Structure 1
Amino acid sequence: MRLGERFPGRRKAVPVPAAAKAQPYTFGAPVAGWVTNQSLVKSKPFSAQRLENFIPTSTGIIMRGGSVKRATIGSAPVESFITYNAGGTKKIWACDETTIRDVTSPASPTVAPAASVSGQTSGYYSYVNFTTSGGSFVVAVNGTDFLQLYSTTFDWSAVNGLATYRLNFDTQTVNYVTGQTITGGTSGATATVVKSIDNGTTGSLYIQSITGTFQDNETITGGIAGSAQADIPAGVVQISAAITGVATSALSHVWLYRNRLFFIEGGTMRARYLGIDSVTGALGSLNLSGIFQRGGSLLFGATWSLDAGDGIDDKCVFVTTEGEAAIFEGSNPAGATQAEWNLVGRYDLTDPMGKRATMRAGGDLIVATKEGLVPISAAINKDAAALSLAAVSRNIEPDWKREASRRLSLPWEIIKWPDMNYAIVSLPVTADGQESWAFVVNLETGAWCKFVGWATRCLELHDSRLYFGTNDGLVLEGEISGNDNGLPIYHTYVGNPDHMKSLGGLKTVHQARPTFLSATPYNPKISFSVNYSVDLPPAPTAADGGTADLWDSGLWDVAKWDQAQPTGSVGGGQWISIGKTGHVMQPQLQITSYLNQRPVTEFVQLDVTFETGGVVV
């Protein structure tokens, strides 16, 4: 080999100028949120590879609040919630497989409240609030038990093919039993008890199949047990009429369309509907079996609007278990003309994740499917294979699809929370060892994050407060306090790889300084990973949370619910030594929260100083 000839296979680094100086660089907060559907080599600016328990906003990322146990309804899973809101009365019930229990203001978070409804065989309900000329009601169905109707006038009542009446009693000596026949001692009248409300020596019997006429003050005796005197000076009172046409135990889903109740007849391709402004009566029938092509059965229905309200442009959507959607327009499903009822078209989605896994957004109907969170408007214009491109959840597509496959055995739910400007998607735990997660999206920016530590079997928004039920029978309120029912919250941000404007160049980050806007204590830990390999250090210790008592975070009648929100201040903190070298950098932020109040801390940016090295050639 001649002098000066390059040795084969050997590379030489371009020398770094001796006068190289540290340069400044700023990593902005990941306002684009959690993004995992991209090449790590060319990541979306201001995005995160991991964003756990931080919520992206338009200006930064904020720490989520904690959760507090509000009720225990037993050891069985809380499968769904039901709410009522009318005439100034607001109530929420938690449902397990056999009962419906009022958890609006339970006496104890550890003792199950008395069952409002018992003897059920499924706790997964679909419900609507419906105000008619006859009053304000909750209509709830589960596909296996009779339809449940609630009003403040008569509490809960099972509705089937028979009218239901109320017989009040007093001077009770023996309790009555549901399902038995009662007999009037003087009149000889009989009836079947469908519900007994016992207030000690007084109460009410809900009865059906009456023969004869019960008389006031006669002794009413149960065929199995029960004895009291009738307290009916004006006679028995009808509280609900019958629903006929099909057994209401077959109705699995309910929704409102053009002031009319629609139902799915579970396991079939038939939809049912009642008359306008009615919660009882004869059910009409819609057979949709000739419309769909993939088989299966109807799963749910909903209203889709071309604007953000309810009006003449509303359309009625029917969705099957196989992910097909049929869209109708019109106001009279029994009508003989297209103007009264008309099929707009049949469109392909992918398998829906649950009949409660939908939400309205800007007039559109968003449906959670195996491919992602898909707007119905996109299904009209795209093939099913391309729907993921239009999905609201596109930024987290790999994670969505993975969890949809892992957690398919239980239905998902979505709750839109305008006050917090986000929507939360439940990820029910379906196997031992599975993570307690929920997906969260900013309603304004579409940026995503993940809540870690919330075991969201089901979700509900009630009185502008978020509740979730768990597999072990607990009801918790979310976004309150600064810890998860006594456990710390670990907030974690890992940025997507950043070449710091020097693609392929070697960099050394020497120092970093974060900027926060905060009104509550926090103890951040800043670190870096390099060269696409995430390496998080142990989480930091929690900052002192103080002893503030905020509404629903302290004791009843002690907490100051109208206390002003703490005023935030900007803090840049001190420069922190980093000393990390690599070709690509990923900033990392960790905070451990164990506050007694909801944290008010926003991460804004991270300033660093770095030097560049040579490019290997």
Structure 2
Amino acid sequence: MANPYTFGAPVAGWVTNQSLVKSKPFSAQTLENFVPTSTGIIERGGSIKRATIGSNPVESFITYNAGGTKKIWACDINTIRDVTSPADNVTPPAASVSGQTSGYYSYVNFTTSGGSFVVAVNGTDFLQLYSTTFDWTAVNGLATYRLNFDAQTVNFTSGGTVTGGTSGAVATIVKNVDNGATGSLIIQSITGTFVDNENITGGAGGSATANIPGGVVQVSSAITGVATSALSHVWLYRNRLFFIQGGTMKASYLPVDSVTGALGTINLSGVFQRGGSLLFGGTWSLDAGDGIDDKCVFVTTEGEAAIYEGSNPAGSTAAEWNLVGRYDLTTPMGKRATMRAGGDLIIATKEGLVPISVAINKDAAALSLAAISRNIEPDWKREAAERISLPWEVIKWPDMNYAIVSLPISAEGQAAWSFVVNLETGAWCKFVGWATRCIELHDNRLFFGTNDGKVFEGEITGNDDGQPIYYTYVGNPDHMKSIGRLKTVHQARPTFLSSTPFNPRISFSVNYKVELPTAPDAADGGSADLWDSGQWDVALWDQAAPEATVSGGQWISIGKTGYVMQPQLQISGFLNRRPDVEFVQLDVTFENGGVVV
């Protein structure tokens, strides 16, 4: 007699840290490119190449968002390039900043009474400061000025000297902002006073006319006390910029509400016990926002964390600045491998994704038991060991209700993977096919950079830049409430909610041996009615998206016999729009056999 049984969608996500004999209900042994939700699993979107910045790896993104202006830059070892709206996805945009020696940046957006800025550091080059007023400027121990010009006949050269033909004033050229016949020189070390309408010349042949009716304009003050090329990480704590002095146990800080000024220094050499150097810092709060209970966290390369409270590091009382304690983590996976969840600071380490609130209550050896990544602990630890040579990153995307952990390809043969966790349920999955060297969320759009200098946008369309997406779900072993008994699954009937076409392939593996059939052909995606993708006069850009409907009500012959069953679902995606497919459940009919003794 045939019996009914239902396999629910793996809403518990990808789980690999458990006994196969007694698996967690509604969990998956494999969950690739399916995202677990509270009701089922859905297909992730595809990706499109948006820009190329060269042949070197894209090591960082930097974003700016203030006053209605939103910009994103991609960084390699030598340059910072604006990829907000590139002319095409093949030709590298002109460098906004060149001559750099590292592309691995830390940055913050910071609005002060003087304007809105991006502050970026990389530990080897001068601090870079961006504002819509003066573009990018290198900030060091000297004040920086802007000398506007017109009637330019020969371009000026950065690093050269500009001389006023009438005044005799001279200055060092930091940068030439060239708009053709007009533009401006970013200068330092001025001797004398430049005057309006005088001819200005550069040592390498530059020539133009000064256009400064009000004189040269100061664009930034100096940062003194520590060479800004030594600053490797920056974060914001209680309206004040803090920095790590790379390769040391020292941190620095600027005055409140300032992007320049005299740097103070905090020496933490006597605080930590395992050596190494400071890697990054951040803010930890006991509530869900910024407030007077915020604490400043310093983390070392060896996985130690020191937590301070107070608002004035130069203060002489405990109320102004006080060490709360030193705690053990394990090796961090990168200075940008963190995220905020409420007020908590969550850090990606070799043991897993660990909240700082857990680290203060547990021994380092027990942290993996309380890690957010506990369900995929074996996979996390394996990838952490194999990809430790390149820094990881973590990005939280509230609108998509997930966080993504980049797994950079650090050796030949490594797969293009990312770990993904549902922010609401804590369920995990794996994205396959995205080679995420670095990742960033900009204007509620996800971007990732690759080792070959490409910039992609993710979760858009239904293919990976012209390549199919393979969605795979393999359930964890299920005894179907009759452990130890032989059983035969005769038929299966899947249930989906979908508004886009798809061709599912349902199969089963038995007795703990996973055997997947060949992936099915992709469904015909039709034409894309999307701006910048659809065909003019054909695409219906204002057409409402079709509503999801229940589908997949046909019974499929299975004919698999074994003691333990693992349901399997495969879909090949090659749509021109983002897929809308949710797997809900799989009904089966089966018969029990006898117990063999």
Work out whether residues 553 and 597 of structure 1, in 8 Å CA contact, stay in contact via their aligned partners in 2.
no
Corresponding residue for residue 468 of structure 1? 448
The one-letter amino acid of 2:504's match is: P
Change (3 A) 1:317 1:565: farther
Aligned to 1:506: 486
What amino acid maps onto 2:390 in structure 1? L
SS at match of 2:384: helix
Aligned mate of 1:490, from 466, 470, 474:
470
Aligned residue for 1:246?
A: 226
Q: Of residues 279, 286, 290 in structure 2, which corresponds to 1:306?
A: 286
Alpha-carbon deviations, 1:402-442, whole Å to 9, x = none? 00001000000000000000000000001122100000000
Q: What is the distance in 1 between the residues matched to 2:78 and 2:308?
A: 36
Q: Does 1:236 align with 2:220?
A: no
The answer as to 2:245 corresponding to 1:273 is no
- What is the correspondence of 1:81-100 to structure 2 with a 5 Å cutoff? 81-100=61-80
Determine helix, strand or coil for the equivalent of 1:451: strand
Partner of 2:580: 600
Secondary structure in 2 matching 1:41: coil
Partner SS state of residue 541, structure 1: coil
Report matched runs for 1:121-200 at 5 Å. 121-200=101-180
1:56-80 deviation digits (Å, cap 9, x = unpaired): 0000000000001111111111000
SS at match of 2:77: coil
Supply the AA of the counterpart residue of 2:584.
V
| 1:272-291 matched pairs, under 5 angstroms | 272-291=252-271
How many angstroms does 1:572 deviate by? 3.3
Task: Tell me which of 435, 455, 467 is aligned to 1:455.
Answer: 435
Residue pair 1:551, 1:560 contacting (<8 A) in 2 also = no
Answer yes or no: is 1:526 the counterpart of 2:510. no
Of 408-417 and 570-579, more deviation after overlay is shown by: 570-579
2:59 aligned residue: 79
Asked whether 1:424 is paired with 2:404, we answer yes
3-state secondary structure, aligned to 2:399: helix
1:293 equivalent in alignment to 2:283: no
Partner of residue 389, structure 1 = 369
**1:481 aligned residue (458, 461, 472):** 461
Q: How many residues align?
A: 597
Q: Which residue of 2 is the match for residue 31 of structure 1?
A: 11
Matches of 1:583 and 1:32, distance apart in 2: 23
Structure 1 residue 229, shift from structure 2 partner = 1.1
2-structure distance, mates of 1:187, 1:563 = 65
Contact 2:527–2:534 (Cα < 8 Å) also in 1: no
Quick one: distance in 2 between partners of 1:462 and 1:555?
27
1:539 aligns with 519
TM-score w.r.t. length of structure 1: 0.95
Give me the whole-angstrom Cα distance separating, in 2, the residues matched to 1:566 and 1:431: 43
AA paired with 1:326?
A
The CA deviation at 1:610 is: 0.5
> Could you tell me whether the CA contact under 8 Å between 2:298 and 2:306 is conserved in 1?
yes
Cα distance in 2 for residues equivalent to 1:231 and 1:396: 62
**1:505 touches 1:612 (CA, 8 Å); kept in 2?**
yes
CA distances 1:179-238 after superposition (whole Å, capped 9, x unpaired) = 011111111111000000111111110000000011111111111231111111111100
Q: Secondary structure at the match of 2:360?
A: helix
- What TM-score, normalized by structure 2, do the two folds share? 0.99
Indicate which of 300, 303, 306 corresponds to 1:323.
Answer: 303
From the CA coordinates, give the structure whose radius of gyration is larger.
Answer: 1
Deviates more, 1:332-341 or 1:565-574: 565-574
Task: Give the Å deviation of 1:517.
Answer: 0.3
User: Percent same amino acid at aligned positions?
Assistant: 84
Cα distance, 1:209–1:555 mapped onto 2, change above 3 Å: farther
Q: In structure 2, give the amino acid aligned to 1:353.
A: M
1: CA distance, partners of 2:364 / 2:414 = 30
The one-letter amino acid paired with 1:465 is R
Secondary structure at 2:456 match in 1: strand
Deviation at 1:554, TM superposition (A): 4.5
Say whether the 8 Å CA contact 1:480–1:552 is kept in structure 2: no
> Which of residues 407, 411, 415 in structure 2 aligns to 1:435?
415
Shift of 1:132: 0.3
Contact 2:146 2:218 in 1 (8 A): yes
Equivalent residue number for residue 109 of structure 1: 89
Give the direction of change, closer, same or farther, for the CA distance of 1:358–1:202 in structure 2 (3 Å limit).
Answer: same
Q: Could you tell me which runs of 5 or more consecutive residues in structure 2 were left unpaired when the two chains were aligned.
A: none
The alpha carbon displacement at 1:146 in A equals 0.4
SS in structure 1 of the partner of residue 591 of structure 2: strand
- Give the Cα separation in 2 of the matches to 1:561 and 1:356: 38
Contact persistence 2:106–2:336 (CA under 8 A): yes
- 1:491 is displaced (CA, Å) by 0.1
* Mapping of residues 202-241 of structure 1, within 5 Å: 202-241=182-221
Distance 1:98 1:559 in 2: 41
**Code of the aligned partner of 2:556:** I
Secondary structure of the 1:40 match is coil
Letter in 2 for 1:299: L
Match of 1:373 among 348, 353, 356: 353
| 8 Å Cα contact 1:480/1:553 also seen in 2 | no
Change (3 A) 1:557 1:114: farther
Partners of 1:176 and 1:222 within 8 A in 2 = yes
Instruction: Tell me which residue corresponds to 1:571.
Output: 551
CA-to-partner distance for each residue in 1:376-426, whole Å, 9 max, x for gaps? 001111000000000000000000000000100000000000000000000
1:552 and 1:559 in contact (8 A); partners too: no
How far did residue 557 of structure 1 move?
A: 12
Q: Secondary structure at the match of 2:116?
A: strand
Report the Cα distance in structure 2 between the residues aligned to 1:173 and 1:596, rounded to whole angstroms.
49
Q: For 1:548, what is the secondary structure of its paired residue?
A: coil
SS in 2 for 1:178: coil
Q: For 1:88 and 1:397, how far apart are their aligned partners in 2? A: 42
Q: Which runs of 5+ in 1 are unaligned?
A: 1-20
Q: How far apart are the structure 1 equivalents of 2:397 and 2:201?
A: 51
Residues 279-298 of structure 1: CA distance to partner in whole angstroms, max 9, x if unpaired? 00000000001000000000
CA distance in structure 2 between the aligned counterparts of 1:297 and 1:362, rounded to whole angstroms = 28
C-alpha distance in structure 2 between counterparts of 1:181 and 1:570, whole Å: 71
Distance in 2, matches of 1:352 and 1:141, equals: 19
CA distance in 2, matches of 1:559, 1:213: 61
Distance 1:33 1:490 in 2: 17
Opposite residue 467 of structure 1, the aligned amino acid is: F
3-state SS in 1 of match to 2:430: strand
SS in 1 for 2:375: helix
Is the 1:552–1:561 contact (alpha carbons within 8 Å) kept by the matching residues of 2? no
Q: Residue 216 and residue 411 in structure 1: after superposition, are their counterparts in 2 closer, same or farther (change >3 A)?
A: same
| Cα distance between partner residues in 2 of 1:242 and 1:532 | 65
The amino acid across from 1:356 in the alignment is R
Cα distance, 1:68–1:498 mapped onto 2, change above 3 Å: same
Verify the 8 A CA contact 1:179 1:194 in the aligned structure 2.
yes
2:376 match: secondary structure: helix
Distance in structure 1 (CA, Å) of the matches to 2:73 and 2:540? 26
Distance 1:554 1:455 in 2: 27
Superposed CA offset, 1:509-541 (max 9, x none): 000010000000000000000000000000000
